Amino acid sequence: MSVPPPPEPITGARLLFSLDPAVSHLNHGSFGAVPIVAQRAQQRLRDEMEADPLRFFTQGLVDRIAHTRRHLAGFLGADPDGTALTTNATTGAAVVLQSLGLRSGDEVLTTDHGYGAVAYSIRRECHRTGATHRVLRVPLTATDDEVVQIVRDGLRPGRTRLLVVDQLTSATARLFPVAAIVGVAGEHGVPVLVDAAHAPGMLPASVRSIGADFWVGNLHKWGYAPRGTAVLVVATPWRDRIEPLVVSWEQDSGFPARLEWQATSDYTAWLSAPAGLYTLRSLGVDRVRAHNAGLAAYGQRVVGDALGVPPADLPDPGGPTVAMRLIPLPAGLATTLDGARALQTRIAERLATQVAVTTWDGRGWLRLCGQVYNTPEEYQRLAFGLPGLLVQR
C-alpha cells in the first residue's frame, strides 16, 4: 500500500526558528522550539530586568503577570480567575497533589499511559501521607467508550481522592476522551486532574468544555512559548485550597497570585509567551494544526514501511489534530528506560535526527512529531538510515 502524500509546506515557517539545520528535529513534543520573535521578546525583557532589577521586580510586575495570564487563559478557553501560571505541567500536578490533604486509606488513581515525572510526584506524596497509588491498564487499541468504562469500573467512591488522566499521552500519543471521563468521575464524586501537557496549541478543545477540577498544560511545547511556561486551571470550589510549593510575598493575595509569585524567579518566559502565540496565530492556528498532524502521519507511514510494520499495526492517535505518532520497534529493543534512552542517543548521534524513544507495556516505541519547520525529506532520511542502525546491537 502506497504512502499518502505529505501536506503542503507552510512557506517560510522554517525561517521563524533558530534550529540547527544540520539536525532533523522530529521531537518537538519533548522540549518544543521557541520562535525567534519570542526569543527576542524574552531577551528584551531580560535586558529590562538587568538594567534596573529593583524597578522590574517591584513596580508593576504582578500586574504584568496577571495581564499575561488573562491573555493565555483567553487562548485556552479557560477562566482567567481560575488560571495560574506555573513552570510546567509536572509542577502544576505537584501543586494539586500536595494541596489535596491526602491521608492513609486514600488513593490516587491513574492509567498506565501517565507521564513518568507525574507518577514520581504521586508516589512521593503517597509515601509521605500513607495514601496509595493505583494504576488502571488501558489497552492502546481501546475505544473511547472502552476507556470510559475502564475508568468507571476502576473508581472507588469514598476512597479515590483524585483521578489523574492525560488528555494526550506522552509515551503513547493517545488522545483520551477527557470530557467524558470527567463526567463519569463527577457522577461518583471523584475530582479529576487532566494532565494536558501537549494540548495547548495542538488541540482545539476549550478547557471550560472539559470541566475538570484541575487542568494543567504547557505553552512551551505546541504554543511556541519560551520554556518554563505552563498554566494550572482550577475549578472554583478548589481555589482557596491550592497552596504553592514555596510560600512567598503574595501568599495573602490568594489564588492565583500566591501560586505565581516566587520572588526572584525569572518571569521573562511567561511575559513573552504572547509573542509565541502571535507566531502561531500569524501562521494560522488551524492551518498549523492540520499541517503538523498530516506531516506526523506521513512520517509514521514512511518510517513504519521502512521497518516492515504493516499500516494496520501503526497506532492511530485517535484524533485528526494529533501531531505525534508512534511506531512499534522490533521486539527486544528499548524495552527498558535505559535502553530507550541509549537508542535515542544513538539515533541522534549517527543519523543526526532527534526523535523520542519510549517504553510502554514492555515494548519499545519510536515517537515522531510533525511541526512547521519539518520537511518530508527528514522523515525519508530517517527511514533510510534507521533499519541498518537498529540491527547494529
Same structural domain, 155 and 304? no
What's the total number of domains in the chain?
A: 2
Same structural domain, 136 and 254? yes
Q: Residue 143 is placed in which grid cell?
A: 475505544
Contact 311, 301 (CB under 8 A): yes
pLDDT at residue 153 in the model: 97
2 found inside a domain: no
Same structural domain, 225 and 179? yes
Same structural domain, 245 and 294? no
Same structural domain, 254 and 309? no
1 found inside a domain: no
Supply the CATH number for residue 65's domain.
3.40.640.10
Same structural domain, 221 and 329? no
Q: What is the DSSP secondary-structure string of 363-374? A: EEEEEEE--TT-
179 found inside a domain: yes
Supply the CATH number for residue 328's domain.
3.90.1150.10
Query: Domain boundary residue among 250, 277, 304?
Result: 277
205 — pLDDT class (breaks 50, 70, 90): confident
Dump strand ranges (E) for 182-222: 192-195, 214-218
112 found inside a domain: yes
Contact 325, 355 (CB under 8 A): no
pLDDT at residue 1 in the model: 55
Write out pLDDT tens, residues 210-232: 999 999 999 999 999 999 999 99
Same structural domain, 105 and 253? yes
Q: What is the mean pLDDT of residues 14-42?
A: 98
Query: Domain boundary residue among 239, 258, 277?
Result: 277
Write out pLDDT tens, residues 307-361: 999 999 998 866 678 999 999 999 999 999 999 999 999 999 999 999 999 999 9
Structural domain boundaries, residue 348: 13-31+285-390
Same structural domain, 178 and 43? yes
Same structural domain, 124 and 191? yes
4 found inside a domain: no
pLDDT at residue 77 in the model: 97
Q: What is the mean pLDDT of residues 128-146?
A: 96
pLDDT at residue 318 in the model: 63
pLDDT at residue 393 in the model: 64
Question: How far apart are alpha carbons 52 and 54 in whole angstroms?
Answer: 6
Residue 23 in this model has a pLDDT that exceeds 80 = yes
Same structural domain, 240 and 383? no
The distance of Cα 62 from the centroid of its chain, to the nearest Å, equals 26
250 found inside a domain: yes
Selection from 74, 67, 356 nearest residue 221 by Cα:
356
Same structural domain, 260 and 135? yes
Burial class (CB in 10 A: 0-12, 13-18, 19+), 377: exposed
Residues near 316 by Cβ (< 8 Å), separated by ≥ 6? Answer: none
Residues near 35 by Cβ (< 8 Å), separated by ≥ 6? Answer: 16, 17, 224, 275, 276, 279
Question: How far apart are alpha carbons 111 and 135 in whole angstroms?
Answer: 5
217 found inside a domain: yes
pLDDT at residue 317 in the model: 62
176 found inside a domain: yes
Query: Domain boundary residue among 277, 299, 320?
Result: 277
Residues near 271 by Cβ (< 8 Å), separated by ≥ 6? Answer: 42, 45, 64, 65, 68
Q: What is the mean pLDDT of residues 98-123?
A: 96
Same structural domain, 200 and 335? no
Write out pLDDT tens, residues 170-201: 999 999 999 999 999 999 999 999 999 999 99
- Mean pLDDT score of the chain, rounded to an integer? 96
| Residue 384: how many other CB atoms lie within 10 Å | 13
